[in-house]
Structures are given as C-alpha cells and as structure tokens.
Amino acid sequence: MGLGSLASRTLKSSRILSSQYSRFRPIVTKPGLQSPDASSAAAAAQPEPTPPPPKKPVGGARVEFTNPDDALEVFVDGFPVKIPKGMTVLQACEIAGVDIPRFCYHSRLSIAGNCRMCLVEVEKSPKPVASCAMPALPGMKIKTDTPLAKKAREGVMEFLLMNHPLDCPICDQGGECDLQDQSMAFGSDRGRFTEMKRSVVDKNLGPLVKTVMTRCIQCTRCVRFATEVAGVQDLGMLGRGSGEEIGTYVEKLMTSELSGNVIDICPVGALTSKPFAFKARNWELKGTETIDVTDAVGSNIRIDSRGPEVMRIIPRLNEDINEEWISDKTRFCYDGLKRQRLNDPMIRDANGRFKAVSWRDALAIVAEVALKVKPEEIVGVAGKLSDAESMMALKDLLNNMGSNNVWCEGTGTSPNADLRYRYLMNSSIAGLEKADVFLLVGTQPRVEAAMVNARIRKTVRASNAKVGYIGPPTDFNYDCQHLGTGPQTILEIAEGRHPFSSAISNAKNPAIIVGAGLFERDDKDAIFAAVEAIAKKGKVIRPDWNGFNVLLLNASQAAALDLGLVPESSNSIESAKFLYLMGADDVNLDKVPADAFVVYQGHHGDRSVYRANVILPSAAFSEKEGTYENTEGCTQQTLPAVPTVGDARDDWKIIRALSEVAGIRLPYDTLGAIRSRMSTVAPNLVHTDEIEPAAFGPSLSPECTQKVESTPFKAAVENFYMTDAITRASKIMAQCSAMLVKK
C-alpha cells in the first residue's frame, strides 16, 4: 500500500514522463471554446462540410436487390442507406455497417425476438424496438448509439447474466463466446444481483453434443435449428419463466446428421462439442481454410490445429455449397487422422509380416516389379480421398508403363467419362433451391451428401416442393413420396404411366437426382437412358435450367472422371499382376490373383493393407495441398493444416519419385508443373472455386440397347458414420455408429 503511493508520487514528479506527455499531447481548440464572434466568423467562413463516405455493410457482405425499384431508404445513425424491401431494422443496420448485438437472431433461422439484445431507438417510437423483428419502413430514422439504446443493452445484458453461472474458466466457449464479447462491448461493468442463481440439470444429447444447461440463456436458436434446418423436432423449450429448460423432455439422443451445428449456433457454452471438451482454447488454435473430403459435397471447413494435431473442424461460410453448416461426419472425423496412420514405407517379407524400410528400398522394389510385369497386367485404382494431382500422376505413370487400366473406386466397372453432364450435379447445389419438383432415383441424400439434403429440405420448406423417391425405404426429414424400389418405376414414369410423371411435366423447374450408387449396377446405361427419357419428356434440360443431376459419393470421383480415369477393360483386376492401390480401401480384392504384387499407397492402415505387399505412406487431406472437385463440378483446394505423419509424403510426389526410380520420369517436379499438366487434360481443375458447367446435353448421348433389370436399388451408404479410411479409424465415429444409427 505504502510502496504504491510512493511509486506514483515519483512517477508524477519525474521530469522525463512529464516531458513525454507534453511532447505527445496535442492541444486543440474547438469552435465552442473560442469567443462567440470569432466562432461565428469561423462558421461562416467554413465551406459546406463534405458528405460522409457511403458506409460498407458489416463483414463486407453483398446486398442483393431482387427488385431494384423496391428499394427503400432509411437513416441509420444519420446516414442514409438503401435497402431492399422486406428487410428488418437489424438487417438495414448491417447494410449500413452498424453491428447490432443479438443472441437469438440468426440470419438462417426464423425470427424469435426473445433475447431483446437488439433493441435500438427508432424515432417516433415510444419504446425501444427489437430490430431483428421490426420491418424497416421507408424513411425510418434508426438510432443505435443513443443513451436509450445503450441503457437498453446494458439492462438486457444484466438480466442475461443474472442467472448465468460463473463458468468462464471451465467453459469451452470462453474466447469465442457471444455473451463474453457482447458484455464487454455493450454491457455495464457491474451487476446488482445478490440472490441465488438457478441451476438446470444437464441433458444427454449423445456422444457429440455436450450440454451444460445451466449456461443456457434460452435464446431457442437450437430449437429453431432442429425444427427448421435439421428437420428433427427433438428439442423444445420446457417450463416457463426463469425455470425454462431446453431439452428433449424424454431422454432422446440427437440422431440427426446435422446435430453438430447446434454447437456453432449456441451463443454460450450450453451446447459444446463433446470430443473437443477441455482440449484447447480457441486463441491457441491456428485455423486453416480447407475443404472436406468425407463426401462429394466439398463443404468448406476450417481446420483448427495446435501444433501437429488437428483439434477440431468448424464450418466456413460458402453460400453456394454448404451455407454455414457441415455434417457430423465432416465435423468429427478428425480424430481418425490420429489413429492407424501409416508413417513408414513397409515391405512384406517372406513370413508375411511387414518390415519398415527406407523410401529408397521401397521404391526400388516397386519399380523392379513394375518393370518386370507385362503392361496389360498393370492395374491402378485411385481411392475415395485422392486429390486430382495424384490421380493425374497415377494415370500418367501407368500410361507411360503401357497400361490403360486406371480407375477411381466408386465409378463402377465401366465408367463413361465422355459426357460431363452424366456425372455432375448440373443444376449446382445452390441451384437446387430453384427446383419445385424433385425425383430422387436410387439416392438417399441424407446419408450420401448431408448438405445437399439440407438444401433440398430448405427448398421443400420454402416453396413446398414435391419430392418423389425411388429406392429402398429410408426416412427423410421432409415430406417425400416413396414411388417405388427399382428401375421398373423409372420406366413407368418415363412412359407416363405413373402419377408422378404428371407432377414432373407440370413443374416449372423439375430436378432429377440420380445416385452414384447406380454406377455399380450392370444395367446402369439402361437406367440412365430411362432417366434421360424422363428428362426429355419433362423438359428437365433446357437452356435456362438443367435439372439432370448425379449425386456422387466420393470426393475424388468427379476429378477422376474429368481426368479420364477410365479403365480399358472392366475385369482387369482378375488378371492383374501388379496392382497399385492409391488409397483405395473399398475395392473388392477377392478376385486379385494370389501372386499379384499389390502396392498400397495411403495414409491409413485400413482394409486394403491386409493384401498389400508394399506400403507407401502418404499424406491425408489435412496435410497436403490438393485439388478436389465436388459433385457439382466446383474445383476447390485443400491447404495443409498440420505436418504429415512420420515419413509420409504427398501422393503425387511418391508417384513422381517412383517414376524416377523406374526410369520413366514424369515431366513435373513442382505443384505448379503438375497443375499445368492437369490443365492440359481438364482445364477446369485449375480454376479454383469456379463451376465449369457441362458443355453438351443428352443430344449427344449414345443409343442404349440394354434392358433394365428388375433388381431393386440398394442403399449406397450402409453406415453414414463409417464410409472411408479416416472415418473408419475414428473413435468418435465408432461411438456415433454404435449409439446413433437407427437399428
């Protein structure tokens, strides 16, 4: 106590500090401080003040005026802004660049208006107005920085904090908590609450979402998300007043595939990520913007890593593909990246056990065998998670060795890559919102591509679109007619015998979504011909709207077909003597001859490793820079978030090294060089974030003489949570698969 005052006295008398202060403290005069006649003379002499520069919207957002004639003008804090009709006061302020605090409002959910944090003052209104709910009327004068608005915010914040527990040190949301940030920016510095705080029992929502319901501020964002976006009505607000609890009433786990998004949506730490609980604070994480590869959607994600470890995956905004959501598989597969990793090249010795060797030896053995084998016995299979660069390198290498039997798993035994419209989602994922009738053929979007399903649900909710489904019985989170189970139904609709065909012909923008699971069928050409017949009759493919869509299953299929990974013969595996599996774990290896030499290049010790003779470790998607094309044809790139494991290398670099050792050197050494090689084959693969639409339509498709078989369609994805090497190695996915999959 005594020392402190001594210190301050010495500081005050210190000449150095006072000189510093006098040096940096500017002396200004204001017009009001000067004498009256001097100030009026100054005012008269001043020129007209220049108008303030136009304000930029919050976050650099773009404003879309659907009807430019319908624009209104309102005044936000004195600044005029033009807004489209139908916007709320909060949205008008966002356009004007003023960020209004809010808890319950979310731009993608319905308006609740129950948190009252967005109160602003509007002229001629007796009370402050909830800006998230009040429509902006022309000429409204909105004031967000007046004492009334500030007092309202401080008051609301005080009420919210009254029953909120003092959990910040142990709460996972600390550092990225809306309540913390807004109370720092808009709350008062002291509270007046001296009573007992209420506490609430925690609810069990499953292995993914951790609940500490005492922290809940009853904003109902999670309830609205579950009802509207996810389509499962499980959560509700039970009780009333300060005893309100968010819960499921009966003990019910959140089985929706979008359940992880409530973690992002919850503004406080009531709903957090259970696998990520207590692992890291958000400020120690490095975020890398990359792309998800667990399905064909290519959702934009941000991988948060701390050092060499991926700590969590959160979504990035991409209006065209995944909006702000990601599926549970995308979000929680990251712990599979830490298990079952291949980190050293291995060779199977005579006893059948693997021995770790150096790269030099491994590549030498592989090259030796490859050169001894006849060209038509060399087969290469690219995996589900392969990037375009490595597939290009694999094809180049095998072609240079004389073989033309390279394909990507999932594209079937005889893929046809001639016409792009036959394997892409031609209306694009965002374009599905314009459709008013959907025909789902052999595809269950909920488990195959959860974000496409979310988009279909959004369309069905917004415009009451009709959905017809042909396939095995599954449950949908929107109203869907089950038309049939097999190809016969497609023929009926094509010939107009089915009641649904009238729905298609009367629709303005019909969309047909064919599942890529049909690629595996023998009668796939006939099925596609029948679907194209439906498309022709229903005018599905027009210059202004192309509703013929194929929903792919893997992240690598589109790029593989664009690069031409089409095998010469459909049963080359049975006569293969040298099989190069690049991350291919779902290939049926039963037919591989016993003396074939199998090389497995991948990052996880999954199924194919058991048959491999040589293992070459490669990098996973989070550790390499690769190009992936999603099901709509949009090329995106991943970025390395963490360093790779052990001695693993990038896929294409391994193949380049192998080519060098084998004497058939491939002509590229750098990423740029292999990308320019890719651009000679498929130029769209170097135009990132752009969709290259399919050039030709069904007018060029060949005649089909095949007949459809009557076997009903099978489900392409058996278990949503375990589809590829990374998810099969993940403990969280195993828990989800055990607890959340409906038996």
Partner 1 sequence: MLARLASQRFLEIRQAFRQSSQAYRSFSTALNYHLDTPDNKPDLPWEFSEANKAKVKEILSHYPSNYKQSAVIPLLDLAQQQHGGWLPVSAMNAVAKVIEVAPIRVYEVATFYSMFNRSKVGKYHLLVCGTTPCMIRGSREIEEALLSHLGVKRNEVTSDGLFSVGEMECMGCCVNAPMITVADYSNGSEGYTYNYFEDVTPKRVVEIVEMLRRGEKPPHGTQNPKRIKCGPEGGNTTLLTDPKPPPCRDLDAC
Chain positions contacting partner 1, by CB under 8 A: 196, 201, 203, 233-240, 243-245, 247-251
C-beta of 235 vs 314, nearer to partner 1: 235
233 or 676: CB nearest partner 1: 233
Find the shortest distance in angstroms from Cβ 615 to partner 1. 50
Q: What is the nearest approach in angstroms of partner 1 to the Cβ of residue 271?
A: 16
* DSSP at 689: T
Minimum distance from CB of 118 to partner 1 (Å)? 24
CB of 240: closest distance to partner 1 in angstroms? 5
57 vs 113 by CB, closer to partner 1: 113
For residue 589, give the DSSP letter: G
Q: How far apart are CA 510 and CA 489, in angstroms?
A: 17
Kind plus residue range of the DSSP H or E element containing 156: helix 147-162
User: Which residues contact residue 304 at a Cβ distance below 8 angstroms, ignoring those fewer than 6 apart?
Assistant: 280, 282, 285, 286, 287, 288, 310, 311, 312, 313, 314
Cα–Cα distance for residue pair 319/402, rounded to 1 Å: 44
Using the minimum distance from each CB to partner 1, give the nearer residue, 44 or 201: 201
Output the DSSP codes for 627-646. Answer: EEE-TTSBEEE----SPPST
Pick the closer one to partner 1 by CB: 117 or 217: 217
CB of 234: closest distance to partner 1 in angstroms? 6
SS3 for 651?
helix
49 or 243, CB closer to partner 1? 243
Report the residue number, 250 or 695, with the smaller CB distance to partner 1.
250
Q: Nearest 5°: CA angle at 119, between 155 and 145?
A: 90
CA distance 178 to 372: 64
Q: Tell me how far, at minimum, the Cβ of 274 lies from partner 1, in Å.
A: 19
Q: Is the CB of 3 or the CB of 166 nearer to partner 1?
A: 166
CA separation for the pair 220, 242 (Å, rounded): 14
DSSP classification of residue 681: H
Q: First CA to last CA across the chain, in angstroms?
A: 69
**Least distance between partner 1 and beta carbon 156 (Å):** 23
Comparison of 203 and 274: residue with beta carbon closer to partner 1: 203
Structure-block tokens of residue 11: 């500081």
Burial profile 327-358: b = 16 or more Cβ within 10 angstroms, e = fewer: bbbbbbbbbbbeebbbebbbbbeeeeebeebe
3-state SS, residue 586: coil
Minimum CB–partner distance for residue 429 and partner 1 (Å): 28
* Sheet of 300-306, strands arranged across: 286-291, 300-306, 309-315
Complex with partner 1: residue 176 or 228, whichever CB lies closer:
228
Distance CA 179, CA 156 (A): 11
Give me the least distance between CB of 177 and partner 1, in Å please.
25
| Structure tokens belonging to residue 322 | 């995944």
Least distance (Å) between residue 198 CB and partner 1: 8
